[in-house]
């Protein structure tokens, strides 16, 4: 008997990095997992490696109509949601003087509005005692050069997690926030490009900023998500959980 047998989960942004590792962990643990992301081919390839109970639903979290369609697919399968992970997100990498209105709208549109729409559209399908997991970032707790808009969008997500924990508690639904430190994913490679740095140099700089002196692995975030998704964390809600190698703790 696997720990998530009979459970249904939705993981947004599951074609890559942390979301992909979380979806794979849930699938390995026996759950049926609905995966989202905008790039259809990447999403289907990711789902294919996770077995028959991994269902790709290409969609954009910043569009309400797309999330309605995701919920329609889940509902048509006769499923309810035991776990929702609002993971889809992206960074900006621009200093105050360079931030454009389009960048601001894009980052907040995906990270903040996308998290809100994901959870809001899931509400009707959430089971009693469901677990909702949001993704923030250690940049919320530091002043990181060029990450201002990104950090602010994630600070809003952390705040929403508190409010939703209060609002959904009467239904027995828990809401928790995972705050990763530097995790080796394609997103970090993209930032290195944007900063004109090699991936290796950026990894070294980020690793040096942690107490454990290394980058984290997506599977290490997935292990925390598995804990928060399951009954072992039944008395934990509204909290922020760091998986950051001690980056903002030590
Ligand atoms: N890596 C880190 O060090 C780190 C640290 C702190 C927090 N985080 C957070 O962890 C989460 C995952 O990051 P990651 O590093 O795994 O990034 P990643 O490897 O770039 O993966 C991001 C995923 O989100 C999807 N996505 C992006 N925009 C989307 C949209 N509008 N609608 C639906 N899906 C979308 C991407 O697929 P498509 O492009 O195909 O849509 C991809 O599957 C993000 O919220 C990020 O902010 C990461």
Q: What is the mean pLDDT of residues 206-225?
A: 98
pTM, whole model, 2 decimals? Answer: 0.99
Average pLDDT of the chain is: 97
pLDDT for 17 equals 98
Q: For position 26, what pLDDT does the model report?
A: 98
- 224 alpha carbon – ligand 1 mean position (Å): 17
Give residue-wise pLDDT tens across range 59-106. Answer: 999 999 999 999 999 999 999 999 999 999 999 899 999 999 999 999
Give the residue ranges of DSSP H helices in 50-196: 64-76, 101-107, 114-122, 148-168, 186-195
- Tell how far the Cα of 89 is from the centroid of ligand 1, in angstroms: 4
Structure confidence at residue 175 (pLDDT): 99
Ligand 1 nearest-atom number relative to CA 182: 3
Pocket of ligand 1 contains residue 184 by CB under 6 Å: no
Q: Spell out the domain ranges in the chain.
A: 8-181+217-240, 182-215
- Closest-lying ligand 1 atom to the alpha carbon of residue 111: 45
The pLDDT assigned to 92 comes to: 82
Say whether 150 is catalytic: yes
Q: Which of 26, 34, 108, 150 is catalytic?
A: 150
**pLDDT of 101-157, one tens digit each?**
999 999 999 999 999 999 999 999 999 999 999 999 999 999 999 999 999 999 999
CATH superfamily of 8-181+217-240: NAD(P)-binding Rossmann-like Domain (3.40.50.720)
Distance of CA 170 from the midpoint of ligand 1 (Å): 31
């Amino acid at each position: 008997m696997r720990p998530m047998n009979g459970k249904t989960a939705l993981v947004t942004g599951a074609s890559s990095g942390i979301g992909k590792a979380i979806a794979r962990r849930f699938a390995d643990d026996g759950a049926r997992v609905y995966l989202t992301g905008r790039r259809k081919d990447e999403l289907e390839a990711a789902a294919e490696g996770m077995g028959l109970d991994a269902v790709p639903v290409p969609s954009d979290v910043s569009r309400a109509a797309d999330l309605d369609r995701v919920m329609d697919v889940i509902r048509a399968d006769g499923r309810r949601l035991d776990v929702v992970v609002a993971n889809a997100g992206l960074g900006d990498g621009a200093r105050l003087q360079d931030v454009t209105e389009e960048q601001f709208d894009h980052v907040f549109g995906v990270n903040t509005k996308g998290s809100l729409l994901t959870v809001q559209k899931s509400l009707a399908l959430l089971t009693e005692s469901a677990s909702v997991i949001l993704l923030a970032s250690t940049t919320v707790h530091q002043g990181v050069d060029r990450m201002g808009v990104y950090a602010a969008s994630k600070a809003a997500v952390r705040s929403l997690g508190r409010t939703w924990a209060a609002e959904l508690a009467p239904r027995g639904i828990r809401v928790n926030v995972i705050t990763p430190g530097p995790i080796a994913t394609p997103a970090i490679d993209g930032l290195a490009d944007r900063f004109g740095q090699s991936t290796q140099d950026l990894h070294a700089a980020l690793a040096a900023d942690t107490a454990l002196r290394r980058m984290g692995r997506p599977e290490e975030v997935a292990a925390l998500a598995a804990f928060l998704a399951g009954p072992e964390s039944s008395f934990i809600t509204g909290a922020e959980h760091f998986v950051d190698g001690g980056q903002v703790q030590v």
